[in-house]
Amino acid sequence: MPDFVQLWVYLSSAPLVGLTATLVVYLLAMALYQRAGHAPWANPVLWSILFLGAALLITGVPYPSYFAGAQFIHFLLGPAVVALGLPLWERRTTLARGWGRFLLAALIGGAAAALSAVLIGWILGLPGDVLRSLAPKSVTAPVAMGVAEKIGGVPALAAVFAVLSGLVGALSGRALFNLVGIDTDHAGWMARGFAIGTASHGIGAARALQVNADAGAYAGLALGVQVLLASLLIPLLARWF
């Protein structure tokens, strides 16, 4: 038993353990997701977070030790987001014709996402730094952390809120779109994708890509536009309020 404990202490401090654990857990979660027929409740990101979080709590491994190995996957988020530009390039004619409508929809959607979260938090009596951490919740986590830090929020909380927003959108998006009667024709997939990308950033866009190519493309567009708008407008508006 002492030998096993010493072995675990050694392995838990090795950077590759975080990387290996993340890949193995995600592949298992993806296998479950596929066996469940891509059901929203089986979202692999959700189950990976739950399992890895529980494993870190049970084993007592500090998050910085885990992230020392998993940060390579974190680095790949950048190229993955950039890769979303390819489907947009393939639809550049549509984008050129309707760029004004897309920009207006992004402004309205982003404002609704940020203001509704802050308003609900204010009604519930949340502290000011938590409210400022809520404002960028619908932007992808790395950008949300940077925006929150700039306006006096808590970057770690902003990341949590961003991930939760993405998961809620990925889990409930299809049901909500069906409930409000958005069709599944070309225009409908465009609307669904843009909406999920606006509200649920990268996690929502990944889910949209699995469902329909058009939805995934416009979710990627919405994600990129929200990153730009939030980075510019939220710090500016925070000074006024």
The reported pLDDT for the residue numbered 1 is 46
Question: Whole-angstrom Cα distance, residue 74 to residue 131?
Answer: 26
Domain residues of the chain, as ranges?
2-83, 85-240
The reported pLDDT for the residue numbered 123 is 93
- Report which secondary-structure segment, H or E, holds 139: none
- Which residue, 169, 179, 160, 168, is CA-closest to 215? 169
The reported pLDDT for the residue numbered 14 is 56
Question: Residue with structure tokens 């390039």?
Answer: 89
The reported pLDDT for the residue numbered 62 is 80
The reported pLDDT for the residue numbered 239 is 77
Question: Whole-angstrom Cα distance, residue 74 to residue 204?
Answer: 17
- E-assigned strands of the chain? none
Q: Is the C-alpha dihedral spanning 61, 20, 67, 36 positive or negative? A: negative
The reported pLDDT for the residue numbered 124 is 92
The pair of structure tokens assigned to 33 is: 């997701």
CA distances from 121 to 14, 117, 118, 132 (A): 40, 6, 5, 10
pLDDT in tens, the chain (241 residues): 444 445 445 455 555 777 888 888 889 988 988 888 877 788 888 888 888 888 888 888 787 777 777 777 766 766 766 666 677 777 777 777 878 888 898 899 888 988 999 999 999 999 988 999 998 888 888 888 888 988 988 888 888 898 888 888 888 888 888 888 888 888 888 889 889 988 888 788 888 887 888 888 888 888 888 888 888 888 888 777 6
The reported pLDDT for the residue numbered 120 is 92
222 and 192 Cβ atoms separated by less than 8 Å:
no
Q: What is the 3-state secondary structure (H, E, C) of 189-232?
A: HHHHHHHHHHHHHHHHHHHHHHHCHHHHHHHHHHHHHHHHHHHH
Question: Whole-angstrom Cα distance, residue 141 to residue 164?
Answer: 10
The pair of structure tokens assigned to 194 is: 């843009």
